[in-house]
């Protein structure tokens, strides 16, 4: 049996930042991580030597307040600016390329919908995004699909007030070497016990009892940074059970689907296709492609919402076939061979995350601060879902971890 002052559960962005803060203010703590690695939803694999690919977080958002940016600058990493990845590029629409400049039309429609959504939010209309926007316009299908890609749930499942609470002021930056790799560097110097899933937190007595796969730990306080996917599936048992107000907050902020796919071809292909293009097919909706990211010879596809969920359920081979069919439609079938290698993320199936990131249900936008509220002055909550203006992001998770550590210390 081990005894410590504070246990941090989970070594993703929030847990690592909480640990760094406790190190800084010289508090006794243990950081427990269920999996074999740190980083959580920040994870990079390699398609080939020297060709990294992020399965999770990819963009450094709000660089001026993002602790990973300081590391990227320190190590002079290659970064690419990109403000265009929402509506960027050319569109292959039901069998034909739309004229150049169509992206400007979509961008204008997009901005108009955001204004309508902002108005709904100012009027405190806690409705779905679908109910707030114009669904009859020719660009509505694109908005629906690309919105779900960014926010993980389809427009009818997403709260308009939650969407409008999210703040982005700065241009995102992508790290050529992989943001997951950068997160691994962020964790250097943080003591963490890996392969140590917490099974239960008993807060019925004067000290907390945490049962882990490696044994029992007694602690004064605990900082839970596990995802809402883990909390909502009762991945950790609380004794007594969490109060209803906390369970409501967890339920109101489910993790949606968002996956990243890379198709790598053995020789340079698809150079005739634009860097960014979207293939829109009736029934499937728009699927956005990025051709040769950072100049690497692969194609990146990012999906979100119901179609991402469906693709993940269909499995990896079916996903690759589905996406290849879209690529071949746009490129002409001869131009696209089978890929030599591919990577397909599957966050819903990750037992330590169970989804991509949180998106409030209509009516639940006010639940984020409630999710963040401690219980009994001893159980603290951090992680992306607990922040109202930077949910679904690494910088939001980091800020929440730092704040929870200060509150628990």
Residues lying near ligand FAD in the complex (CB under 6 A) are found at 9-15, 32-35, 40-42, 56-59, 61, 197-198, 225-227, 230, 235-236, 258-260, 345, 347, 352-353, 356-357, 383-384, 392-394, 397
Report how far residue 355's alpha carbon sits from residue 35's, in angstroms, rounded to the nearest whole number: 16
Q: Kindly tell me which of 92 and 276 has the beta carbon lying closer to ligand FAD.
A: 276
Rg, the chain, Cα only: 22
Q: Kindly tell me which of 88 and 269 has the beta carbon lying closer to ligand FAD.
A: 88
Closest to 174 measured CA to CA, from 271, 84, 299, 306: 84
For 115, counting Cβ atoms within 10 Å of its Cβ (0-12 exposed, 13-18 middle, 19+ buried), the class is exposed
Report how far residue 215's alpha carbon sits from residue 202's, in angstroms, rounded to the nearest whole number: 14
Q: Kindly tell me which of 15 and 274 has the beta carbon lying closer to ligand FAD.
A: 15
Q: Kindly tell me which of 120 and 262 has the beta carbon lying closer to ligand FAD.
A: 262
Q: Kindly tell me which of 219 and 356 has the beta carbon lying closer to ligand FAD.
A: 356
Q: From the CB of 345, what's the least distance to ligand FAD, in Å?
A: 6
Q: Kindly tell me which of 126 and 384 has the beta carbon lying closer to ligand FAD.
A: 384
Report how far residue 47's alpha carbon sits from residue 372's, in angstroms, rounded to the nearest whole number: 37
Q: From the CB of 168, what's the least distance to ligand FAD, in Å?
A: 10
Report how far residue 41's alpha carbon sits from residue 350's, in angstroms, rounded to the nearest whole number: 10
Q: What is the CB neighbour count within 10 angstroms for residue 87?
A: 24
Per DSSP, what are the bridge partners of residue 216? 211
Angle, alpha carbons 189-194-195 (nearest 5°): 175
Q: From the CB of 80, what's the least distance to ligand FAD, in Å?
A: 13
Q: Kindly tell me which of 325 and 346 has the beta carbon lying closer to ligand FAD.
A: 346
Cite the DSSP H helix spans in 152-191.
160-165, 179-186
Q: From the CB of 93, what's the least distance to ligand FAD, in Å?
A: 26
Q: How far is CA 169 from CA 25, 166, 221, 235, in A?
A: 31, 10, 35, 35
Q: From the CB of 187, what's the least distance to ligand FAD, in Å?
A: 10
Q: Kindly tell me which of 93 and 312 has the beta carbon lying closer to ligand FAD.
A: 312
Q: From the CB of 269, what's the least distance to ligand FAD, in Å?
A: 25
Q: Kindly tell me which of 105 and 170 has the beta carbon lying closer to ligand FAD.
A: 170
Phi/psi zone of residue 152: left (φ > 0), alpha (ψ -120 to 50 degrees), beta?
left
Q: Kindly tell me which of 15 and 254 has the beta carbon lying closer to ligand FAD.
A: 15
Dump the DSSP string for 207-241.
Answer: SEEEEETTEEEEEEEEEE---HHHHHTTSSEEESP
Q: Kindly tell me which of 58 and 144 has the beta carbon lying closer to ligand FAD.
A: 58
Report how far residue 79's alpha carbon sits from residue 90's, in angstroms, rounded to the nearest whole number: 24
- CA dihedral (145, 151, 155, 160) in degrees, to 10, reads -140
Q: From the CB of 337, what's the least distance to ligand FAD, in Å?
A: 27
Q: Is 119:126 a contact under the CB 8 Å cutoff?
A: no
Strands 198-202 and 237-239: parallel
Q: From the CB of 383, what's the least distance to ligand FAD, in Å?
A: 3
Strand locations in 73-168 (E): 79-81, 90-93, 96-97
Q: From the CB of 342, what's the least distance to ligand FAD, in Å?
A: 16
Q: From the CB of 94, what's the least distance to ligand FAD, in Å?
A: 28
Report how far residue 358's alpha carbon sits from residue 244's, in angstroms, rounded to the nearest whole number: 19
Q: From the CB of 335, what's the least distance to ligand FAD, in Å?
A: 28
Write out the two tokens for 221: 């306080």
């Amino acid at each position: 049996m081990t005894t410590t002052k504070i246990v941090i559960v989970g070594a993703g962005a929030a847990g690592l930042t909480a640990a760094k803060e406790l190190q800084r203010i010289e508090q006794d703590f243990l950081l427990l991580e269920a999996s074999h690695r740190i980083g959580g939803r920040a994870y990079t694999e390699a398609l080939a030597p020297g060709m990294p690919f992020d399965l999770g977080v990819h963009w450094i958002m709000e660089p001026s307040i993002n602790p990973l940016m300081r590391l990227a600058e320190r190590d002079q990493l290659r970064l690419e600016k990109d403000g265009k990845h929402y509506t960027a590029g050319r569109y292959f629409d039901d069998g034909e390329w739309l004229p150049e400049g169509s992206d400007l039309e979509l961008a204008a429609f997009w901005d108009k919908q955001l204004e309508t959504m902002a108005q709904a939010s100012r009027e405190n209309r806690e409705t779905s995004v679908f109910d707030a926007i114009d669904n009859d316009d020719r660009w509505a299908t694109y908005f629906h699909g690309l919105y779900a890609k960014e926010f993980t749930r389809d427009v009818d499942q997403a709260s308009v007030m939650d969407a409008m609470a999210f703040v982005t002021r700065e241009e995102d930056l992508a790290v050529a070497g992989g943001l997951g790799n950068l997160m691994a560097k962020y964790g250097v110097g943080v003591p963490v016990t890996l392969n140590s899933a917490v099974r239960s937190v008993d807060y019925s007595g004067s000290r907390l009892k945490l049962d882990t796969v490696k044994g029992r730990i007694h602690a004064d306080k605990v900082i839970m940074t596990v995802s809402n996917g883990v909390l909502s599936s009762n991945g950790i048992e609380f004794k007594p059970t969490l109060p209803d107000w906390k369970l409501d907050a967890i339920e109101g902020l489910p993790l949606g689907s968002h996956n990243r796919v890379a198709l790598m071809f053995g020789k340079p292909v698809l150079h005739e296709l634009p860097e960014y293009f979207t293939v829109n097919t009736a029934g499937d909706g728009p699927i956005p492609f990025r051709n040769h990211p950072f100049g690497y010879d692969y194609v990146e596809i990012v999906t979100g919402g119901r179609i991402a969920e469906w693709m993940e359920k269909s499995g990896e081979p079916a996903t690759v076939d589905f996406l290849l069919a879209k690529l071949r439609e746009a490129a002409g079938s001869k131009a696209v061979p089978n890929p030599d290698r591919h990577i397909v993320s599957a966050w819903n199936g990750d037992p330590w995350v169970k989804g991509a990131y949180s998106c409030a249900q209509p009516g639940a936008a006010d639940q984020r601060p409630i999710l963040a509220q401690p219980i009994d002055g001893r159980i603290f909550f951090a992680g992306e879902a607990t922040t109202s203006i930077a949910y679904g992001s690494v910088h939001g998770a980091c800020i929440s971890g730092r704040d929870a550590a200060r509150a628990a210390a």
